[in-house]
Amino acid sequence: MARLTAPIYEVFCSVQGEGPLLGVCQVFIRFRGCDLTCRYCDTPAARAVCGPCHVQQVPGSEEFTRCDNPLSVEALRGLVEELVTTRGETCHSISLTGGEPLLYPDFVAALSERLHQAGHKVYLETAGHLAQALNAVINNIDWVAMDFKLPSTMVEPVPAVVFGEFLQVAQQTNCFVKIVLTDSVTTKELLEACRIITQVDRDTLVVLQPVTPVGDCRPPDSATLLQWQQLCSELLDDVRIIPQCHRILQVK
Ligand code: SF4
């Protein structure tokens, strides 16, 4: 039977802080739970499946209330609509983020369909390793923002071919690939990722995102970044260096 509830960490309105849609206004639904182990994880609290859902009261404010998990599709859509209504016509889309939204494919499929029926666009932010789950939801997804996680950035690495399989499915809609770069990344693993992306579609937009410092993770120096962009651009048609902008903007 379809699972039509899911644990949610928070619901809030802010601006997209990464990638090609940087700066557009979105309502974010952050799912609880994650099966990966990124060294640079900046949302460790959302990895816990248990706990309440934090709901922002006014777009952009620090005022949050709590509600019990798990939430139904309709309950969650109601929370989204309250923020969208307060924000007005300028809300660009609804971002499904995490944690990992694709741990709940039945729920994401139903939620995305409902959001579309209500006239919203849906933007899925995912770690990029659950191709079968993506295939089950993609009919109602307008953008897929997928990660390609390099082995050195993970405690338990995911085989690179897994991200290639995911990208193949993501081709059905608008998609781009984000690669987070730390000063531990090697040129070899980065170019291996680019080769796999090229085998799917060399036109894929690839965002090289220097890590926002967290724990022991530090970004590469700027000379290395520029060199990597040049090397990646020999394999791919559209490679851009775009850092996270949440902290600069001082928003969530
Ligand atoms: S996939 Fe996201 S939530 Fe999971 S460990 Fe990585 S950064 Fe954290």
Q: What is the pLDDT along the chain (252 residues), one digit of tens a residue?
A: 455 999 999 999 999 999 999 999 999 999 999 999 999 999 999 999 999 999 999 888 899 999 999 999 999 999 999 999 988 778 999 999 999 999 999 999 999 999 999 999 999 999 999 999 999 999 999 999 999 999 999 999 999 999 999 999 999 999 999 999 999 999 999 999 999 999 999 999 999 999 999 999 999 999 999 999 999 999 999 999 999 998 777 777
Report which protein residue has its CA nearest ligand 1's atom 3: 99
Quick one: pLDDT at residue 90? 82
Quick one: pLDDT at residue 2? 52
Quick check: CB of 43 below 6 Å from ligand 1?
A: yes
Quick check: CB of 214 below 6 Å from ligand 1?
A: no
Could you give the angle at the alpha carbon of 175 between the alpha carbons of 130 and 212, nearest 5°?
80
Dihedral of CA atoms 136, 137, 138, 144 in degrees, nearest 10, equals -120
- Phi first, then psi: give them for residue 21, nearest 5 degrees: -95, 20
CA-atom Rg of the chain in angstroms: 18
Quick check: CB of 131 below 6 Å from ligand 1?
A: no
Report which protein residue has its CA nearest ligand 1's atom 7: 41
Report which protein residue has its CA nearest ligand 1's atom 8: 41
Q: Which domains does the chain have, with CATH numbers?
A: 5-249 (3.20.20.70)
0.85 exceeded by pTM: yes
Contact 252, 14 (CB under 8 A): yes
DSSP per position, 166-213: HHHHHTTSEEEEEEEE-TT--HHHHHHHHHHHHHH-TTSEEEEEEPPP
Q: Which atom of ligand 1 is nearest to the CA of 46?
A: 3
Quick one: pLDDT at residue 93? 97
Quick one: pLDDT at residue 249? 75
Quick one: pLDDT at residue 246? 81
Quick check: CB of 180 below 6 Å from ligand 1?
A: no
